[in-house]
Amino acid sequence: MSFLALPMELHLEVVSYCDNADLAHLIRTHSLLNRRLQHELHKRALSWRPEGASKGGTTLDYALTWKRKHLVDYLLRHNAVDIEEGARWNALDWAFEFAPSDVIKKLVDYASNAPAPLNKDQVTSVFGVYLDRVPHKLNKRPKAECEHGQWCECGWAVNEEELQVVQGLLQLGADPMGLSKDVGYYAEYHPRTDVPYTFRARNGDILRLLIEAGADIHWQPPRTRQVLDYNSVDGGTRLTTVLHTACFNSEFPPSVVLELLKHGADPNCQGPALPDAKLVLPLFETLKLGVHPKKSEYLLDYGVDTNVRDELGEYQDGLPEGNLPIHEAVELTEDYAGTWTRLISGTLDLEARSYQGMTTLQEAITSHSLHYARILIEGGANINVRDSKGKSLIHLPLYEPDDDGSLSPEYYLAERRELLTKYGLEP
């Protein structure tokens, strides 16, 4: 007996034993029963629960948690969601915790056309969650996994869909200056301060959207006598402007530094935010930590002062207090050759001494940074300079480079001698 030959009242009884796939097949096969069976399938969609689920939560919540994208689409298409004006939409919290960006975008698009506006505090809160997710949370500069080389920014890339989610949340009322709610470690010893979302924007395009929505990139924390701790940004050491943070923290790509500078961030901003703070310019952070060559280049593009001393040096009687940027650049790799050249051309006195009493050329020679030494000599540094004991560059001590130990000190000294004699220094 065919299905159509059964009494009408038995149709629903039969389909109650069918799973959803079989029921959908019946609907496609028996078009005459489409309306009745479609209604049954619709009821199932509205009441779906995963096996063993508790009674709490809506169908949309579970669909998001279990990543049932087609069911999410179906529920949104049939307006099977409840958004009360000014109230929290729980599905939004579930989506930002469990769902991928393409599903999140569907909810954001739906909310944009919903009859009742969302709770703006909730939108701001989930926006902060999203900024921690996109791009993927990093503990350090990402490893290059493409053909672009070591300093590639692909690890911080976001796609158009993810940018549309950011833009959609801002249009729904997310506060671009919303404060972080992260819990700081060891708060008893390192009091934490909440900071705006600009400190979470780890992509230049995302930061640009925040700025266009009214974010203040010049924000600084209140001045305090205690170091401010924001663990998810700087490991609980110091906190100042977002530009300063983006320069020393390897979680931030150069595109963030560039976007900040384009919108008027001060390349000479000071940190940390402490009374009578020692002067630590962003340029010093990029040179000391070697986080990315482009960060230094962008600061130089926008007029950072290359003749200011870092006040965090170890002071010795009769010697300058702190180093100049050219001193801090000594131990960088050859990837910073462009930075070296520009620092040298922008430094008024190449013979200026560091807080250790040495010129930059002397420090480059003792550190075996011969590529830097070559650029210094060609830039006008005095090759005949002598230390306090009268030693020439050839006779300075050698601080052996960090390597695998396969090369002897004599090898490095021979390389030094060859370079210096090439430029006319007598042994």
Q: How does pLDDT run across 290-342, given as a tens digit for each residue?
A: 889 999 999 999 999 999 988 655 555 556 678 899 999 998 989 999 999 99
Match 């939108």 to its residue by tokens. Answer: 123
| Joined tokens for residue 129 | 């969650």
Rounded CA-CA distance 255/191 in Å is 30
Match 């009859």 to its residue by tokens. Answer: 115
Q: What is the pLDDT of residue 7?
A: 53
Please give the residue range of the domain that contains residue 241: 180-305
Q: Is residue 287 part of a domain?
A: yes
Asked if 14 and 23 touch (Cβ cutoff 8 Å), the reply is no
> Model confidence over 388-405: pLDDT tens digits?
899 999 999 988 666 556
Asked if 372 and 329 touch (Cβ cutoff 8 Å), the reply is yes
Q: How does DSSP assign 158-182, residue by residue?
A: --HHHHHHHHHHHHTT--TTPBP-P
Q: Is residue 399 part of a domain?
A: no
Backbone angles phi, psi at 192, to 5 degrees: -100, 150
| Joined tokens for residue 10 | 């038995």
Q: How far is CA 203 from CA 69, 130, 154, 256, 350, in A?
A: 27, 13, 10, 6, 36
Contacts 24+ apart (CB under 8 A), 265-270: 265/217, 265/218, 265/241, 266/218, 266/241, 267/243, 267/299, 267/302, 267/303, 267/304, 268/304, 268/305, 268/308, 269/240, 269/241, 269/243, 269/244, 270/240, 270/244
Q: Is residue 240 part of a domain?
A: yes
Rounded CA-CA distance 328/339 in Å is 12
Asked if 273 and 267 touch (Cβ cutoff 8 Å), the reply is no
**Pair 263, 295 in one domain:** yes
| Joined tokens for residue 7 | 């009494």
Identify the CATH number of the domain in which residue 235 sits. Answer: 1.25.40.20
**Pair 87, 124 in one domain:** yes
Q: Is residue 197 part of a domain?
A: yes
Element (H, E) at 352: none
**Pair 164, 189 in one domain:** no
Into how many domains does the chain fold? Answer: 3
Show pLDDT as tens, one digit a residue, over the chain (427 residues). Answer: 455 554 555 555 555 656 767 766 766 666 656 666 666 667 777 888 888 777 677 889 888 888 888 889 988 988 888 787 777 898 999 899 889 999 999 999 999 988 788 999 999 999 999 998 898 755 555 555 667 667 788 888 899 999 999 999 999 999 999 987 554 444 444 455 678 999 889 999 999 999 999 999 998 876 544 444 443 334 434 567 899 889 988 889 999 999 999 999 999 987 554 445 566 788 988 998 888 999 999 999 999 999 998 865 555 555 667 889 999 999 898 999 999 999 999 999 999 999 889 999 999 999 999 999 999 999 999 999 999 899 999 999 988 666 556 678 888 899 999 999 999 887 6
Q: Is residue 337 part of a domain?
A: no
**Pair 33, 124 in one domain:** no
Rounded CA-CA distance 317/331 in Å is 25
Please name which of 377, 329, 330 lies closest in space to residue 350, comparing C-alpha atoms. 377
Rounded CA-CA distance 367/330 in Å is 8
Q: Is residue 30 part of a domain?
A: yes
Quick check: pTM over 0.75? yes
**Pair 129, 39 in one domain:** no
Rounded CA-CA distance 122/108 in Å is 13
**Pair 195, 126 in one domain:** no
Rounded CA-CA distance 336/329 in Å is 8
Query: Which of the 8 DSSP states describes residue 196?
Result: B
**Pair 269, 158 in one domain:** no
Q: Give the three-state DSSP class for 192.
A: strand
Q: Which of 153, 175, 197 is the last residue of a domain?
A: 175
Query: Which of the 8 DSSP states describes residue 424?
Result: T
**Pair 274, 210 in one domain:** yes
Asked if 353 and 359 touch (Cβ cutoff 8 Å), the reply is yes
